[in-house]
Chain A
Amino acid sequence: MNNEVNKDKAELAGEEPLLPSNRARQDHSKTVGKILLLVAGMFCFAFALVPLYDVFCAVTGINGKTNTEAAVYKAIDVDESRTITVDFITRTNSGMPWEFTAQTKKIDVHPGKMTEVAFYVRNPTNRDIIAQAVPSVSPGTASLYLNKTECFCFKHQPLKAGAEALMPMVFYIDPQLPEDITYFTLQYTLYDITETAQESVEVVMN
């Protein structure tokens, strides 16, 4: 063989590499088994990323999602020394025909103080539609300090053809809100989920 140069290295070779087919067959199934475990593990890992991503975002607040369940108000001191401006923005997803506006476009609040705002919706079509509002806070970290005791976004919102409604939202800002945040935006996007949510909401509508 031509690898004369490496002759000395060969003697240093650690494990002894092996040999053609039949003798090594058993080793193959062991190796294959280990690799298949890795394949299955990675497939599961990809699905595990879904809850991990949610947990990660909930802990860090980086994608601006607010809590999907109502906060319980604990009597806390209102911090009169700080005033936070909250902007409300509404939009509807493409294909969602509702009118959707914030009654209060902008509000100044003290951290710790309960505040109620309302959103107006109207279903201008001639069919019943069920909506889901999805909130998003910018900057994202503010979402960790926004506590909503009541929100239309916690539930599916059905509206009969031509009907209109005022949807309330009650919130307070945690006084722990970082000093550098004096202003944040809360945006709601309305999605038409009539098709997927029909059954579960039937009860509510009656």
Chain B
Amino acid sequence: MATTTDTNHADTANDGHASDDHHHHAPSGITRWLFTTNHKDIGTLYLWFAFIMFLIGGAMAMVIRAELFQPGLQIVEPNFFNQMTTVHGLIMVFGAVMPAFTGLANWLVPMMIGAPDMALPRMNNWSFWILPFAFLILLSSLFMEGGGPAFGWTFYAPLSTTYSGDSTALFVFSVHIMGISSIMGAINVIVTIFNMRAPGMTYMKMPLFVWTWLITAFLLIAVMPVLAAAVTMVLTDKFFGTSFFSAAGGGDPVLFQHIFWFFGHPEVYIMILPAFGIISQIIPTFSRKKLFGYASMVYATASIALLSFIVWAHHMFTTGMPVAFEMFFMFATMLISVPTGVKVFNWVATMWRGSLSFEIPMLFAIAFIVLFTIGGLSGLMLAITPVDFQYHDTYFVVAHFHYVLVTGAVFSIMAAVYYWLPKWTGKMFDITLAKWHFWCSLISVNLLFFPMHFVGLAGMPRRIPDYALQFADFNKWISVGGFAFGLSQFIFLALLIKACRHQGESVSSQVWDGAEGLEWEIPSPAPYHTFETPPVVK
């Protein structure tokens, strides 16, 4: 896949610069991609990898929706259905959304802060190239005797310890590798931002995408080791006779949920903070105004990140916590809506009386604001302890987190790709295809996820391959929306392939006429090496 991307970059590398000692001639063919330490190459690899994973995880979602098209069991066995929900979740979280953001960080952070590359280019290569192996291990476990992991992406004990198959070991190792990859990626981002900013690029002048990624990187550093510890405990409980989560041996299964969600809640902000950064770059460009409330955006992002560490037990309201704790976690969770609201109001205020134009990235950005807010509001509903007893483990939860992750994180990634793609390839993408992609996605994604709120409130449980008859009509339409959303992504694929073949009109270095920032001052396509002499930021 990746080899279909432009060879032009390699050419530019060879003729553009008398190479200094650590930049040899770029090797061609597959070795170029295997051995590359160039942040743009690695960014491209991450993005293609994420897109392939998005399609694979999406195919699993199609299996789920096909089974749920009608009540009753018709297409797959329940055990396979469980594997699909589990691996769909794992792939979308660790294989699609997170690598896509890391890819964007690789491409953009050095260009935005005027650095020649990431701080640790060889580690950068490694952190990408271990990822395909992690997912090879995870996916191959599906073909093992007994099947792959079937305990949900949250792998609650004792489902993942007492009641899981032997492939749990493969699951654990693949999560370890994903974790190591994420941690290395985060280290790279932090070191690059701390040490490699161009002269004059003070912290409070950094573009918001850089800021949000810096904070995200710290979240990754703080919680990926906790995930690694959690899977390690599952591994030893299952195979080496420890009793971290086994009541019979003196452990406690509820402890698993505490440890998991101590990782898990910051994790959901890992998947949304970079999205906030992207939207904060795009909205000002197409409003032709400075971002409203830059400093408040930075502080709001930091507050969200800090609060994310003290709200984990809102995923566990039904485990029998004392009322005082439920109250604490309820109010702490609701508190997060304050900084998040600051952000939404700032975006809206940026657009207010702006000279708006609705290019494709702006369409996705506006859809993001509206639909992410819907997901945020259903999150507030879930935060209310007494009603959470009704919503818990229903499709209402599924609707909530797909609104924030698909129309939130994924839409922001698409917005980012449309926004920076002309800078990467030097050509404008096919706008007609892009419009088709946007409108088909927008309509189908709402048909897919909006009715889930209703079936959830009516009591349809998640992760079950069958349902009561009264949910049949809704589920039929949800599945239709699902298939349409899945198919819409092939429009995106076609557009990306065209873009990588450098078809289309050449663009100026600024690309969008309201765009501001260092990355818009270098030529389009961005040369293989940029800012070897640091720019001076005034």
Contacts and interface: CB of A to CB of B under 8 A. Distances in A.
A36 to B, nearest CB: 8
Nearest to A57: B252
Contacts of A10: 200, 202, 205, 537-538
B532 interface: yes
Contacts of A183: none
Contacts of B532: 20
B94 interface: no
B226 A43 contact: yes
Contact of B191 (A31, A41, A45): A31
Contacts of A27: 194-195
Nearest to B180: A39
B221 A68 contact: no
B258 interface: yes
B201 A17 contact: yes
A46 B259 contact: yes
Interface stretch (A79-87, A170-178, A189-197): A189-197
Given A2-B516, A6-B538, A31-B191, A17 B252 contact: no
B341 interface: no
B196 A18 contact: yes
A21 B116 contact: yes
Contacts of A68: 250
Interface stretch (A47-55, A106-114, A115-123, A158-166): A47-55
Contact of A49 (B187, B199, B255, B538): B255
B202 A17 contact: yes
Interface in A1-53: 1-7, 9-10, 13-21, 24, 27-28, 31-32, 35-36, 38-43, 45-47, 49-50, 53
Interface string A125-143: 0000000101000001000
Given A53-B258, A132-B248, A39 B225 contact: yes
Interface residues of B, number: 62
Contacts of A32: 120, 187, 191
Contact of A24 (B186, B196, B244, B521): B196
Interface size class of A (residues with CB under 8 A): 35 or more
A9 B117 contact: no
B248 A17 contact: no
B196 A20 contact: yes
Nearest to B533: A20
Given A24-B119, A62-B322, A42 B222 contact: yes
A57 B533 CA distance: 58
Interface in B176-221: 183, 186-187, 190-191, 194-202, 204-205, 221
A63 interface: yes
A3 B249 contact: no
A93 interface: yes
A88 B481 CA distance: 52
A38 B517 CA distance: 32
A93 B248 contact: yes
B221 A35 contact: yes
A40 B205 contact: no
A66 to B, nearest CB: 12
A6 to B, nearest CB: 6
Contacts of B200: 10, 13, 17
A7 B383 CA distance: 44
A20 B534 contact: yes
A141 B241 CA distance: 31
Contacts of B254: 63
B262 interface: yes
Contacts of B516: 2-3
Contacts of B202: 9-10, 13-15, 17
A1 to B, nearest CB: 5
Contacts of A54: 252
A28 B538 contact: no
Nearest to A50: B244
Given A21-B117, A63-B252, A196-B249, A40 B225 contact: yes
B194 A31 contact: yes
A24 B536 contact: no
Interface in A63-98: 63, 68, 93
Contact of B222 (A2, A38, A53): A38
A125 to B, nearest CB: 18
A10 B226 CA distance: 39
A47 B244 CA distance: 10
Nearest to B163: A94
Contacts of B534: 19-20
B223 A42 contact: yes
Given A7-B538, A43-B225, A196 B241 contact: yes
A71 to B, nearest CB: 18
Contacts of A3: 205, 516, 537-538
A93 B249 CA distance: 13
Contacts of B535: 1
B225 A18 contact: no
Contacts of A39: 183, 221, 224-225
B172 interface: no
B230 interface: yes
B228 interface: yes
A4 B516 CA distance: 11
Nearest to B325: A62
A13 B197 CA distance: 13
A2 B521 contact: yes
Contact of A62 (B228, B262, B321): B321
Contacts of B377: none
Contact of B225 (A20, A42, A134): A42
A153 to B, nearest CB: 11
Contacts of A43: 225-226, 228-229
Contact of B255 (A2, A4, A19, A50): A50
B248 A193 contact: yes
Interface pairs A-B: 4 shortest CB-CB: A46-B229, A191-B248, A17-B197, A43-B225
Given A46-B226, A53-B258, A193-B248, 15 more contacts: A10-B537, A13-B200, A17-B197, A19-B196, A20-B531, A21-B22, A24-B195, A35-B187, A35-B191, A43-B229, A50-B244, A62-B322, A191-B247, A191-B248, A193-B249
Interface of B: 22, 115-117, 119-120, 183, 186-187, 190-191, 194-202, 204-205, 221-226, 228-230, 233, 241, 244, 247-252, 254-255, 258-259, 262, 290, 320-322, 325, 516-518, 521, 531-538
6 contacts: A6-B538, A13-B200, A20-B533, A31-B195, A39-B183, A132-B248
